[in-house]
Chain A
Amino acid sequence: MRDGTPTTGDAVTCTGLRYSFGQTRAVDGVDLTVTAGEVFGLLGPNGAGKTTAIRCVTTLLPVPSGMVRVFGHDAATEKMAVRRLLGYVPQQLSADASLTGRENVSLFARVFDVPRRERAGRVGQALEAVGLADAADRMAGTYSGGMVRRLELAQALVSAPRLLMLDEPTIGLDPIARTSVWEHIMAVRAATGMTVLVTTHYMDEAEQYCDRVALMHKGRVRALGTPERLIADLRERRGDGSVPTLEDVFRDVAGSGLDEEGGEFRDVRRTRNTASRVG
Protein backbone atom coordinates (compact mmCIF):
# COMPACT_ATOMS: atom_id res chain seq x y z
CA MET A 1 0.00 0.00 0.00
CA ARG A 2 0.87 3.65 -0.05
CA ASP A 3 3.40 3.80 2.74
CA GLY A 4 4.11 0.17 3.32
CA THR A 5 2.17 -0.14 6.58
CA PRO A 6 0.53 -3.50 7.16
CA THR A 7 -3.14 -3.37 6.27
CA THR A 8 -6.08 -5.63 5.94
CA GLY A 9 -9.04 -5.23 3.67
CA ASP A 10 -11.14 -3.89 6.53
CA ALA A 11 -10.95 -0.27 7.57
CA VAL A 12 -12.42 -0.78 11.03
CA THR A 13 -13.18 -3.90 12.99
CA CYS A 14 -14.81 -3.79 16.42
CA THR A 15 -15.18 -7.01 18.34
CA GLY A 16 -17.06 -7.16 21.63
CA LEU A 17 -16.54 -3.45 22.25
CA ARG A 18 -17.92 -2.32 25.62
CA TYR A 19 -17.66 1.04 27.33
CA SER A 20 -19.28 2.28 30.54
CA PHE A 21 -19.56 5.71 32.11
CA GLY A 22 -19.91 4.75 35.77
CA GLN A 23 -23.03 2.57 35.95
CA THR A 24 -24.22 3.44 32.45
CA ARG A 25 -23.26 1.02 29.69
CA ALA A 26 -22.90 3.37 26.75
CA VAL A 27 -21.59 0.70 24.40
CA ASP A 28 -22.63 -2.83 25.24
CA GLY A 29 -20.91 -5.37 23.07
CA VAL A 30 -20.61 -3.95 19.58
CA ASP A 31 -19.31 -6.09 16.71
CA LEU A 32 -18.98 -4.45 13.35
CA THR A 33 -16.74 -4.25 10.34
CA VAL A 34 -16.30 -1.29 8.02
CA THR A 35 -14.97 -2.37 4.64
CA ALA A 36 -12.27 -0.25 3.01
CA GLY A 37 -13.71 2.24 0.55
CA GLU A 38 -17.32 2.23 1.71
CA VAL A 39 -19.45 4.91 3.34
CA PHE A 40 -20.64 3.38 6.57
CA GLY A 41 -23.36 4.97 8.67
CA LEU A 42 -23.75 4.42 12.39
CA LEU A 43 -27.34 5.39 13.14
CA GLY A 44 -29.33 5.81 16.29
CA PRO A 45 -31.09 8.31 18.53
CA ASN A 46 -29.31 10.53 21.05
CA GLY A 47 -27.68 8.39 23.71
CA ALA A 48 -27.57 5.23 21.58
CA GLY A 49 -23.80 4.98 22.04
CA LYS A 50 -22.71 6.10 18.57
CA THR A 51 -20.40 8.87 19.73
CA THR A 52 -18.87 6.68 22.44
CA ALA A 53 -18.19 3.92 19.92
CA ILE A 54 -16.63 6.42 17.51
CA ARG A 55 -14.50 7.87 20.29
CA CYS A 56 -13.12 4.42 21.04
CA VAL A 57 -12.13 4.05 17.38
CA THR A 58 -10.44 7.48 17.39
CA THR A 59 -8.38 6.57 20.48
CA LEU A 60 -9.99 9.41 22.43
CA LEU A 61 -11.42 6.84 24.80
CA PRO A 62 -9.58 3.72 25.91
CA VAL A 63 -10.86 0.31 24.84
CA PRO A 64 -11.58 -1.25 28.24
CA SER A 65 -13.12 -4.41 26.84
CA GLY A 66 -13.09 -5.92 23.37
CA MET A 67 -10.91 -5.10 20.40
CA VAL A 68 -10.85 -2.20 17.93
CA ARG A 69 -8.66 -2.30 14.85
CA VAL A 70 -8.16 0.40 12.22
CA PHE A 71 -6.59 -0.98 9.04
CA GLY A 72 -5.12 -3.72 11.19
CA HIS A 73 -3.72 -1.42 13.90
CA ASP A 74 -4.91 -1.97 17.46
CA ALA A 75 -6.57 1.23 18.76
CA ALA A 76 -5.57 0.38 22.32
CA THR A 77 -1.86 -0.23 21.77
CA GLU A 78 -0.96 1.50 18.47
CA LYS A 79 -2.58 4.86 19.06
CA MET A 80 -0.18 6.95 16.98
CA ALA A 81 -0.40 4.59 13.99
CA VAL A 82 -4.21 4.69 14.17
CA ARG A 83 -4.31 8.49 14.46
CA ARG A 84 -2.15 8.89 11.37
CA LEU A 85 -4.78 7.06 9.35
CA LEU A 86 -7.70 9.11 10.67
CA GLY A 87 -9.37 12.35 9.74
CA TYR A 88 -11.81 13.17 12.52
CA VAL A 89 -14.57 15.75 12.63
CA PRO A 90 -16.22 15.84 16.06
CA GLN A 91 -19.83 16.71 16.72
CA GLN A 92 -19.11 20.22 17.99
CA LEU A 93 -18.12 22.95 15.59
CA SER A 94 -14.43 22.72 16.29
CA ALA A 95 -12.78 25.29 14.04
CA ASP A 96 -10.89 28.01 15.88
CA ALA A 97 -12.88 31.19 15.35
CA SER A 98 -9.89 33.42 16.11
CA LEU A 99 -7.85 32.08 13.19
CA THR A 100 -8.46 32.33 9.46
CA GLY A 101 -9.69 29.32 7.52
CA ARG A 102 -6.23 28.80 6.04
CA GLU A 103 -4.54 29.00 9.45
CA ASN A 104 -7.00 26.45 10.82
CA VAL A 105 -6.04 23.98 8.10
CA SER A 106 -2.30 24.81 8.35
CA LEU A 107 -2.30 23.82 12.02
CA PHE A 108 -3.44 20.33 11.08
CA ALA A 109 -0.90 20.14 8.27
CA ARG A 110 1.77 20.95 10.87
CA VAL A 111 0.67 18.44 13.49
CA PHE A 112 0.49 15.73 10.82
CA ASP A 113 4.10 16.50 9.82
CA VAL A 114 3.43 17.88 6.34
CA PRO A 115 6.86 19.22 5.29
CA ARG A 116 7.15 22.96 4.86
CA ARG A 117 7.61 22.87 1.07
CA GLU A 118 4.35 20.95 0.63
CA ARG A 119 2.33 22.77 3.24
CA ALA A 120 0.94 25.68 1.26
CA GLY A 121 0.04 23.41 -1.66
CA ARG A 122 -1.72 20.83 0.44
CA VAL A 123 -3.60 23.40 2.51
CA GLY A 124 -4.68 25.12 -0.69
CA GLN A 125 -5.94 21.90 -2.22
CA ALA A 126 -7.82 20.92 0.94
CA LEU A 127 -9.56 24.31 1.01
CA GLU A 128 -10.25 24.04 -2.71
CA ALA A 129 -11.74 20.58 -2.28
CA VAL A 130 -14.37 21.89 0.15
CA GLY A 131 -15.09 25.03 -1.84
CA LEU A 132 -13.51 27.48 0.61
CA ALA A 133 -10.64 28.77 -1.52
CA ASP A 134 -12.18 32.23 -1.78
CA ALA A 135 -13.00 32.50 1.91
CA ALA A 136 -9.69 31.00 3.08
CA ASP A 137 -8.21 34.21 4.46
CA ARG A 138 -11.30 35.31 6.35
CA MET A 139 -11.54 34.66 10.07
CA ALA A 140 -13.34 31.37 10.72
CA GLY A 141 -15.53 33.28 13.18
CA THR A 142 -17.25 34.95 10.24
CA TYR A 143 -18.15 31.62 8.54
CA SER A 144 -21.66 30.21 8.40
CA GLY A 145 -22.35 26.85 10.04
CA GLY A 146 -22.10 24.97 6.76
CA MET A 147 -18.81 26.69 5.94
CA VAL A 148 -17.36 25.79 9.35
CA ARG A 149 -18.29 22.16 8.72
CA ARG A 150 -16.59 22.25 5.34
CA LEU A 151 -13.54 23.90 6.94
CA GLU A 152 -13.38 21.06 9.42
CA LEU A 153 -13.57 18.65 6.52
CA ALA A 154 -10.56 20.43 4.98
CA GLN A 155 -8.71 20.15 8.31
CA ALA A 156 -9.36 16.42 8.30
CA LEU A 157 -8.38 15.99 4.64
CA VAL A 158 -5.04 17.79 4.73
CA SER A 159 -3.26 14.73 6.15
CA ALA A 160 -4.62 12.39 3.42
CA PRO A 161 -6.43 10.13 5.88
CA ARG A 162 -7.54 6.66 4.80
CA LEU A 163 -10.50 6.76 7.14
CA LEU A 164 -12.64 9.86 7.50
CA MET A 165 -14.72 9.85 10.70
CA LEU A 166 -17.58 12.28 10.96
CA ASP A 167 -19.67 12.55 14.11
CA GLU A 168 -23.08 14.05 13.22
CA PRO A 169 -21.62 16.19 10.42
CA THR A 170 -24.89 17.89 9.51
CA ILE A 171 -26.36 18.42 12.97
CA GLY A 172 -28.17 21.74 13.23
CA LEU A 173 -27.53 22.72 9.61
CA ASP A 174 -30.26 23.93 7.27
CA PRO A 175 -31.22 21.58 4.40
CA ILE A 176 -29.15 23.43 1.80
CA ALA A 177 -26.00 23.41 3.96
CA ARG A 178 -26.63 19.72 4.75
CA THR A 179 -26.71 18.84 1.08
CA SER A 180 -23.61 20.92 0.42
CA VAL A 181 -21.65 19.23 3.21
CA TRP A 182 -22.63 15.80 1.94
CA GLU A 183 -21.83 16.66 -1.67
CA HIS A 184 -18.32 17.69 -0.66
CA ILE A 185 -17.87 14.52 1.37
CA MET A 186 -18.97 12.39 -1.57
CA ALA A 187 -16.82 14.30 -4.08
CA VAL A 188 -13.69 13.97 -1.94
CA ARG A 189 -14.40 10.33 -1.33
CA ALA A 190 -14.81 9.70 -5.05
CA ALA A 191 -11.52 11.48 -5.75
CA THR A 192 -9.48 9.83 -3.01
CA GLY A 193 -11.17 6.48 -2.40
CA MET A 194 -11.08 6.98 1.35
CA THR A 195 -13.33 5.10 3.72
CA VAL A 196 -16.00 7.16 5.48
CA LEU A 197 -17.50 6.29 8.86
CA VAL A 198 -20.29 8.65 9.79
CA THR A 199 -22.76 8.84 12.66
CA THR A 200 -26.08 10.52 12.18
CA HIS A 201 -29.61 10.46 13.41
CA TYR A 202 -30.97 11.69 10.10
CA MET A 203 -32.26 8.48 8.53
CA ASP A 204 -32.91 10.18 5.19
CA GLU A 205 -29.23 11.12 4.84
CA ALA A 206 -28.15 7.61 5.68
CA GLU A 207 -30.55 6.16 3.14
CA GLN A 208 -29.24 8.49 0.47
CA TYR A 209 -25.49 8.48 1.04
CA CYS A 210 -24.42 5.37 2.98
CA ASP A 211 -23.39 2.10 1.36
CA ARG A 212 -24.12 0.22 4.58
CA VAL A 213 -25.61 1.19 7.90
CA ALA A 214 -25.67 -0.16 11.45
CA LEU A 215 -28.66 0.74 13.59
CA MET A 216 -27.64 1.28 17.19
CA HIS A 217 -29.94 1.41 20.17
CA LYS A 218 -29.05 1.31 23.86
CA GLY A 219 -25.41 0.52 23.16
CA ARG A 220 -26.02 -2.38 20.80
CA VAL A 221 -26.15 -2.84 17.04
CA ARG A 222 -29.72 -3.97 16.31
CA ALA A 223 -29.49 -4.26 12.53
CA LEU A 224 -26.74 -4.06 9.93
CA GLY A 225 -26.74 -4.04 6.15
CA THR A 226 -27.34 -1.90 3.08
CA PRO A 227 -30.28 0.48 3.50
CA GLU A 228 -32.06 -1.26 0.59
CA ARG A 229 -31.57 -4.69 2.14
CA LEU A 230 -32.88 -3.59 5.55
CA ILE A 231 -35.89 -1.93 3.98
CA ALA A 232 -36.61 -4.92 1.75
CA ASP A 233 -36.36 -7.27 4.74
CA LEU A 234 -38.88 -5.26 6.71
CA ARG A 235 -41.19 -5.08 3.72
CA GLU A 236 -41.06 -8.84 3.47
CA ARG A 237 -41.72 -9.27 7.17
CA ARG A 238 -44.67 -6.90 7.08
CA GLY A 239 -46.02 -8.49 3.94
CA ASP A 240 -48.68 -5.80 3.40
CA GLY A 241 -47.10 -4.27 0.29
CA SER A 242 -46.36 -0.88 1.86
CA VAL A 243 -42.84 0.48 1.32
CA PRO A 244 -41.17 1.21 4.66
CA THR A 245 -38.46 3.83 5.20
CA LEU A 246 -35.23 3.38 7.12
CA GLU A 247 -36.95 5.09 10.01
CA ASP A 248 -39.60 2.35 10.02
CA VAL A 249 -36.82 -0.23 10.08
CA PHE A 250 -35.39 1.55 13.05
CA ARG A 251 -38.71 1.59 14.91
CA ASP A 252 -39.06 -2.07 14.14
CA VAL A 253 -35.70 -3.11 15.59
CA ALA A 254 -35.67 -0.70 18.51
CA GLY A 255 -39.20 -1.45 19.67
CA SER A 256 -41.51 1.02 21.37
CA GLY A 257 -40.60 3.73 23.83
CA LEU A 258 -38.06 5.27 21.51
CA ASP A 259 -39.12 8.82 22.15
CA GLU A 260 -38.78 8.31 25.90
CA GLU A 261 -35.17 7.30 25.53
CA GLY A 262 -34.16 10.54 23.85
CA GLY A 263 -30.69 10.61 25.35
CA GLU A 264 -29.45 12.10 28.55
CA PHE A 265 -29.89 15.74 29.36
CA ARG A 266 -26.21 16.29 28.64
CA ASP A 267 -26.49 14.90 25.10
CA VAL A 268 -29.48 17.04 24.33
CA ARG A 269 -27.78 20.09 25.73
CA ARG A 270 -24.67 19.45 23.69
CA THR A 271 -26.76 19.02 20.56
CA ARG A 272 -28.59 22.25 21.27
CA ASN A 273 -25.32 24.05 21.87
CA THR A 274 -23.96 22.87 18.56
CA ALA A 275 -27.21 23.80 16.87
CA SER A 276 -27.18 27.29 18.34
CA ARG A 277 -23.54 27.85 17.37
CA VAL A 278 -24.36 26.77 13.85
CA GLY A 279 -27.15 29.30 13.98
Chain B
Amino acid sequence: MSAAPATPPPASADSTGAGGLDLLLVPPRARTGWRVLPARVAAMCVVELQKLRHDRTELYTRAIQPALWLLIFGETFTRIKLIPSDGIPYLDYLAPGIIAQSTMFIAIFYGIQIIWERDSGVLTKLLVTPTPRAALVTGKAFAAGVKAMIQAVVVMVIAALLGVSMTWNPLRLAGVIVAVLLGSAFFSCLSVTIAGIVLTRDRLMGIGQAITMPLFFASNALYPTTAMPAWLQYVSAVNPLSYQVDALRGLLLGVPSHLPLDFAVLFAATAIGITAASVLLGRLAR
Protein backbone atom coordinates (compact mmCIF):
# COMPACT_ATOMS: atom_id res chain seq x y z
CA MET B 1 0.00 0.00 0.00
CA SER B 2 1.21 3.47 -0.64
CA ALA B 3 0.23 6.48 1.38
CA ALA B 4 -0.03 9.85 -0.32
CA PRO B 5 3.27 11.59 0.34
CA ALA B 6 2.75 14.70 2.38
CA THR B 7 5.88 16.42 1.13
CA PRO B 8 7.72 16.02 -2.14
CA PRO B 9 10.65 13.64 -1.68
CA PRO B 10 14.12 15.14 -2.13
CA ALA B 11 15.25 15.30 -5.73
CA SER B 12 17.75 12.54 -5.07
CA ALA B 13 15.01 10.07 -4.12
CA ASP B 14 15.01 8.01 -7.25
CA SER B 15 11.94 5.91 -6.67
CA THR B 16 11.03 5.06 -10.26
CA GLY B 17 14.55 4.47 -11.41
CA ALA B 18 13.90 7.12 -14.01
CA GLY B 19 14.74 10.40 -12.35
CA GLY B 20 12.87 12.51 -9.82
CA LEU B 21 9.18 13.26 -9.98
CA ASP B 22 9.16 16.09 -7.48
CA LEU B 23 7.55 18.60 -9.84
CA LEU B 24 4.74 16.17 -10.61
CA LEU B 25 3.51 16.03 -7.02
CA VAL B 26 2.08 19.52 -6.83
CA PRO B 27 -0.80 20.56 -9.06
CA PRO B 28 -0.25 23.88 -10.85
CA ARG B 29 -2.07 26.88 -9.48
CA ALA B 30 -5.24 27.42 -11.47
CA ARG B 31 -5.75 30.51 -13.56
CA THR B 32 -9.16 31.96 -12.90
CA GLY B 33 -11.57 34.46 -14.37
CA TRP B 34 -10.56 36.44 -17.41
CA ARG B 35 -7.03 34.96 -17.49
CA VAL B 36 -8.27 31.56 -18.67
CA LEU B 37 -9.36 32.63 -22.14
CA PRO B 38 -6.14 34.31 -23.38
CA ALA B 39 -4.10 31.42 -21.94
CA ARG B 40 -6.14 28.83 -23.83
CA VAL B 41 -6.10 30.86 -27.03
CA ALA B 42 -2.32 31.10 -26.76
CA ALA B 43 -2.01 27.35 -26.12
CA MET B 44 -4.03 26.49 -29.23
CA CYS B 45 -2.14 28.99 -31.38
CA VAL B 46 1.22 27.59 -30.22
CA VAL B 47 0.13 24.09 -31.28
CA GLU B 48 -0.91 25.40 -34.69
CA LEU B 49 2.45 27.12 -35.16
CA GLN B 50 4.35 24.01 -34.07
CA LYS B 51 2.45 21.94 -36.63
CA LEU B 52 3.20 24.44 -39.37
CA ARG B 53 6.86 24.39 -38.41
CA HIS B 54 6.98 20.62 -38.80
CA ASP B 55 5.11 20.53 -42.09
CA ARG B 56 5.02 23.56 -44.37
CA THR B 57 3.50 21.77 -47.37
CA GLU B 58 0.10 23.30 -46.72
CA LEU B 59 1.53 26.82 -46.78
CA TYR B 60 2.98 26.29 -50.24
CA THR B 61 0.00 24.51 -51.81
CA ARG B 62 -2.42 27.03 -50.34
CA ALA B 63 -0.58 29.85 -52.10
CA ILE B 64 -1.29 28.47 -55.57
CA GLN B 65 -4.99 29.29 -55.85
CA PRO B 66 -4.83 32.95 -54.81
CA ALA B 67 -1.79 33.42 -57.01
CA LEU B 68 -3.81 32.13 -59.98
CA TRP B 69 -6.76 34.38 -59.14
CA LEU B 70 -4.55 37.44 -59.06
CA LEU B 71 -2.31 36.48 -61.94
CA ILE B 72 -4.86 35.20 -64.44
CA PHE B 73 -8.26 36.51 -63.42
CA GLY B 74 -6.90 39.77 -62.01
CA GLU B 75 -4.51 40.63 -64.86
CA THR B 76 -7.07 39.71 -67.53
CA PHE B 77 -9.92 41.69 -66.10
CA THR B 78 -7.66 44.65 -65.41
CA ARG B 79 -6.92 44.75 -69.12
CA ILE B 80 -10.46 44.37 -70.47
CA LYS B 81 -11.90 46.81 -67.88
CA LEU B 82 -15.29 45.02 -67.68
CA ILE B 83 -15.79 45.30 -63.95
CA PRO B 84 -16.32 48.71 -62.32
CA SER B 85 -13.68 49.07 -59.62
CA ASP B 86 -14.17 52.43 -57.91
CA GLY B 87 -11.63 54.19 -60.09
CA ILE B 88 -8.64 52.04 -59.13
CA PRO B 89 -6.97 49.32 -61.25
CA TYR B 90 -9.02 46.12 -61.09
CA LEU B 91 -6.05 44.12 -59.82
CA ASP B 92 -5.81 46.46 -56.82
CA TYR B 93 -9.55 46.18 -56.29
CA LEU B 94 -9.36 42.38 -56.45
CA ALA B 95 -6.39 41.86 -54.08
CA PRO B 96 -8.26 42.43 -50.76
CA GLY B 97 -11.06 40.21 -52.06
CA ILE B 98 -8.61 37.40 -52.71
CA ILE B 99 -7.07 37.82 -49.24
CA ALA B 100 -10.54 37.41 -47.73
CA GLN B 101 -11.49 34.54 -50.05
CA SER B 102 -8.35 32.51 -49.56
CA THR B 103 -8.43 32.86 -45.77
CA MET B 104 -12.10 31.89 -45.79
CA PHE B 105 -11.29 28.76 -47.79
CA ILE B 106 -8.86 27.69 -45.09
CA ALA B 107 -11.24 28.44 -42.24
CA ILE B 108 -14.29 26.80 -43.78
CA PHE B 109 -12.57 23.40 -43.72
CA TYR B 110 -11.26 23.80 -40.18
CA GLY B 111 -14.11 21.63 -38.90
CA ILE B 112 -12.50 18.69 -40.68
CA GLN B 113 -9.56 19.02 -38.33
CA ILE B 114 -11.97 19.14 -35.38
CA ILE B 115 -13.70 15.96 -36.58
CA TRP B 116 -10.31 14.32 -37.01
CA GLU B 117 -9.35 15.39 -33.48
CA ARG B 118 -12.60 13.97 -32.17
CA ASP B 119 -12.12 10.65 -33.99
CA SER B 120 -8.57 10.39 -32.72
CA GLY B 121 -9.43 11.27 -29.11
CA VAL B 122 -7.42 14.50 -29.07
CA LEU B 123 -10.57 16.58 -28.65
CA THR B 124 -11.97 14.24 -26.01
CA LYS B 125 -8.87 14.76 -23.92
CA LEU B 126 -8.95 18.55 -24.33
CA LEU B 127 -12.56 18.51 -23.17
CA VAL B 128 -11.44 16.94 -19.87
CA THR B 129 -9.02 19.79 -19.16
CA PRO B 130 -10.08 22.87 -17.17
CA THR B 131 -11.07 24.62 -20.37
CA PRO B 132 -14.65 25.82 -20.76
CA ARG B 133 -16.08 24.84 -24.15
CA ALA B 134 -16.38 28.45 -25.26
CA ALA B 135 -12.68 28.96 -24.44
CA LEU B 136 -11.75 25.84 -26.37
CA VAL B 137 -13.76 26.96 -29.41
CA THR B 138 -12.32 30.48 -29.20
CA GLY B 139 -8.83 29.02 -28.95
CA LYS B 140 -9.42 26.83 -31.99
CA ALA B 141 -10.98 29.72 -33.90
CA PHE B 142 -7.93 31.90 -33.39
CA ALA B 143 -5.61 29.00 -34.06
CA ALA B 144 -7.33 28.79 -37.45
CA GLY B 145 -6.62 32.52 -37.65
CA VAL B 146 -2.87 31.81 -37.35
CA LYS B 147 -2.99 29.89 -40.63
CA ALA B 148 -5.16 32.59 -42.16
CA MET B 149 -2.70 35.31 -41.14
CA ILE B 150 0.17 33.52 -42.82
CA GLN B 151 -1.98 33.03 -45.91
CA ALA B 152 -2.89 36.74 -45.91
CA VAL B 153 0.78 37.71 -45.78
CA VAL B 154 1.53 35.37 -48.69
CA VAL B 155 -1.28 36.87 -50.80
CA MET B 156 -0.16 40.39 -49.94
CA VAL B 157 3.37 39.58 -51.05
CA ILE B 158 2.08 38.14 -54.34
CA ALA B 159 -0.11 41.22 -54.85
CA ALA B 160 2.80 43.55 -54.09
CA LEU B 161 4.95 41.68 -56.62
CA LEU B 162 2.20 42.22 -59.22
CA GLY B 163 2.38 45.93 -58.54
CA VAL B 164 -0.59 46.47 -56.28
CA SER B 165 0.13 49.48 -54.10
CA MET B 166 -1.02 48.80 -50.55
CA THR B 167 -0.64 50.76 -47.35
CA TRP B 168 2.35 50.39 -45.03
CA ASN B 169 0.70 52.38 -42.26
CA PRO B 170 1.15 50.19 -39.15
CA LEU B 171 -2.22 51.17 -37.69
CA ARG B 172 -4.00 50.19 -40.87
CA LEU B 173 -2.04 46.96 -41.04
CA ALA B 174 -3.09 46.23 -37.45
CA GLY B 175 -6.66 46.72 -38.63
CA VAL B 176 -6.00 44.27 -41.46
CA ILE B 177 -4.78 41.67 -38.94
CA VAL B 178 -7.92 42.11 -36.84
CA ALA B 179 -10.18 41.84 -39.89
CA VAL B 180 -8.43 38.68 -41.12
CA LEU B 181 -8.52 37.08 -37.65
CA LEU B 182 -12.19 37.87 -37.13
CA GLY B 183 -13.23 36.64 -40.56
CA SER B 184 -11.26 33.48 -40.11
CA ALA B 185 -12.65 32.97 -36.60
CA PHE B 186 -16.20 33.34 -37.89
CA PHE B 187 -15.81 30.92 -40.79
CA SER B 188 -13.97 28.33 -38.71
CA CYS B 189 -16.75 28.50 -36.12
CA LEU B 190 -19.27 28.10 -38.92
CA SER B 191 -17.32 25.04 -39.97
CA VAL B 192 -17.21 23.61 -36.42
CA THR B 193 -20.94 24.30 -36.09
CA ILE B 194 -21.64 22.34 -39.26
CA ALA B 195 -19.27 19.63 -38.01
CA GLY B 196 -21.30 19.46 -34.82
CA ILE B 197 -24.46 18.92 -36.88
CA VAL B 198 -23.26 16.47 -39.55
CA LEU B 199 -20.58 14.72 -37.42
CA THR B 200 -18.67 13.09 -40.29
CA ARG B 201 -15.76 14.28 -42.37
CA ASP B 202 -17.31 13.33 -45.73
CA ARG B 203 -20.52 15.26 -45.13
CA LEU B 204 -18.62 18.30 -43.87
CA MET B 205 -16.34 18.15 -46.90
CA GLY B 206 -19.41 18.12 -49.18
CA ILE B 207 -21.11 21.00 -47.41
CA GLY B 208 -17.87 22.98 -47.29
CA GLN B 209 -17.42 22.56 -51.05
CA ALA B 210 -21.06 23.50 -51.61
CA ILE B 211 -20.99 26.75 -49.63
CA THR B 212 -17.55 28.25 -50.32
CA MET B 213 -18.24 29.31 -53.90
CA PRO B 214 -21.70 30.80 -53.16
CA LEU B 215 -20.20 32.73 -50.23
CA PHE B 216 -17.45 33.98 -52.51
CA PHE B 217 -19.65 34.93 -55.45
CA ALA B 218 -22.37 36.44 -53.27
CA SER B 219 -19.88 38.94 -51.88
CA ASN B 220 -18.10 42.05 -53.08
CA ALA B 221 -14.80 40.17 -53.41
CA LEU B 222 -14.83 40.10 -57.24
CA TYR B 223 -17.16 42.96 -58.14
CA PRO B 224 -18.95 45.80 -56.33
CA THR B 225 -22.41 45.01 -54.99
CA THR B 226 -23.83 47.73 -57.24
CA ALA B 227 -23.08 45.50 -60.22
CA MET B 228 -25.19 42.67 -58.73
CA PRO B 229 -28.84 41.86 -59.41
CA ALA B 230 -31.07 43.00 -56.55
CA TRP B 231 -31.57 39.54 -55.02
CA LEU B 232 -27.83 38.92 -54.88
CA GLN B 233 -27.34 42.28 -53.17
CA TYR B 234 -29.58 41.05 -50.35
CA VAL B 235 -27.49 37.90 -49.99
CA SER B 236 -24.32 39.95 -50.01
CA ALA B 237 -25.72 42.20 -47.30
CA VAL B 238 -25.95 39.26 -44.86
CA ASN B 239 -22.66 37.70 -45.93
CA PRO B 240 -19.89 38.49 -43.41
CA LEU B 241 -17.32 38.01 -46.19
CA SER B 242 -18.58 41.22 -47.84
CA TYR B 243 -17.92 43.21 -44.69
CA GLN B 244 -14.47 41.70 -44.33
CA VAL B 245 -13.63 42.58 -47.95
CA ASP B 246 -14.97 46.09 -47.48
CA ALA B 247 -12.81 46.57 -44.38
CA LEU B 248 -9.70 45.16 -46.08
CA ARG B 249 -10.24 47.36 -49.12
CA GLY B 250 -10.68 50.47 -47.02
CA LEU B 251 -7.61 49.70 -44.89
CA LEU B 252 -5.22 48.47 -47.58
CA LEU B 253 -6.15 50.73 -50.48
CA GLY B 254 -7.69 53.73 -48.73
CA VAL B 255 -10.85 53.56 -50.85
CA PRO B 256 -14.13 54.72 -49.26
CA SER B 257 -15.48 52.03 -46.92
CA HIS B 258 -17.64 51.53 -43.84
CA LEU B 259 -15.08 50.50 -41.23
CA PRO B 260 -17.22 50.90 -38.06
CA LEU B 261 -20.06 48.89 -39.59
CA ASP B 262 -17.64 46.31 -41.03
CA PHE B 263 -15.94 45.66 -37.71
CA ALA B 264 -19.24 45.68 -35.81
CA VAL B 265 -20.59 42.99 -38.15
CA LEU B 266 -17.38 40.94 -37.96
CA PHE B 267 -17.30 41.09 -34.14
CA ALA B 268 -20.99 40.18 -33.90
CA ALA B 269 -20.62 37.34 -36.42
CA THR B 270 -17.63 35.95 -34.53
CA ALA B 271 -19.51 36.10 -31.23
CA ILE B 272 -22.49 34.29 -32.75
CA GLY B 273 -20.18 31.76 -34.38
CA ILE B 274 -18.33 31.01 -31.14
CA THR B 275 -21.62 30.61 -29.28
CA ALA B 276 -23.09 28.26 -31.88
CA ALA B 277 -19.91 26.19 -32.14
CA SER B 278 -19.59 25.93 -28.33
CA VAL B 279 -23.15 24.66 -28.03
CA LEU B 280 -22.66 22.05 -30.77
CA LEU B 281 -19.19 20.98 -29.64
CA GLY B 282 -20.87 18.84 -27.00
CA ARG B 283 -22.39 16.69 -29.75
CA LEU B 284 -18.89 15.94 -31.00
CA ALA B 285 -17.85 14.89 -27.49
CA ARG B 286 -20.40 12.07 -27.19
Contacts and interface: CB of A to CB of B under 8 A. Distances in A.
Given A131-B18, A188-B16, A191-B16, A58 B128 contact: yes
B43 interface: yes
Contacts of B121: 90-94
Contacts of B40: 111
B243 to A, nearest CB: 33
Nearest to B136: A111
**B interface: dominant SS:** loop
A125 interface: yes
B28 A159 contact: yes
Interface in A158-203: 158-162, 187-194
B18 A98 contact: no
Nearest to B43: A110
A125 B23 contact: yes
B286 interface: yes
Interface string B107-139: 000000000000111101111111110000000
Contact of B124 (A92, A96, A98, A161): A92
B5 interface: yes
Interface in A91-140: 91-96, 98-100, 103, 106-115, 118, 121-122, 125-126, 128-129, 131, 133, 139
A111 B124 CA distance: 14
A73 interface: no
Contacts of A217: none
Interface in A45-87: 58-61, 80, 83-86
A95 B286 CA distance: 19
B3 interface: yes
Contact of A36 (B4, B18, B124): B4
B2 A190 contact: yes
Contacts of A88: 125, 128
Contact of A60 (B4, B17, B26, B285): B285
Nearest to A123: B23
Contacts of B229: none
Given A37-B2, A110-B43, A98 B54 contact: yes
B235 interface: no
A125 B25 CA distance: 11
Given A37-B2, A115-B28, A125-B20, A99 B51 contact: yes
B24 A126 contact: yes
Interface in A217-273: none
A100 B54 CA distance: 9
A113 B16 contact: no
Contact of B54 (A99, A107, A111, A193): A99
Contacts of B125: 88-90, 94, 108, 152, 155
B47 interface: yes
A152 B54 CA distance: 20
B55 interface: yes
A68 to B, nearest CB: 14
Contact of A187 (B18, B25, B43): B18
B128 A129 contact: no
Nearest to A61: B286
B124 A188 contact: no
B10 interface: no
B132 A110 contact: no
Given A91-B121, A188-B16, A118 B23 contact: yes
B25 A60 contact: no
Contacts of B5: 192-193
22 contacts: A36-B4, A60-B124, A84-B130, A92-B121, A94-B122, A94-B124, A99-B47, A99-B50, A111-B126, A111-B131, A113-B29, A114-B28, A115-B28, A118-B28, A128-B18, A129-B24, A159-B28, A159-B129, A187-B16, A188-B24, A192-B25, A193-B5
Instruction: Please name the 4 residue pairs, one residue from A and one from B, whose CB atoms are nearest each other, closest first.
Output: A94-B121, A92-B121, A193-B4, A110-B43
Interface of A: 2-3, 36-37, 58-61, 80, 83-86, 88-96, 98-100, 103, 106-115, 118, 121-122, 125-126, 128-129, 131, 133, 139, 152, 155, 157-162, 187-194
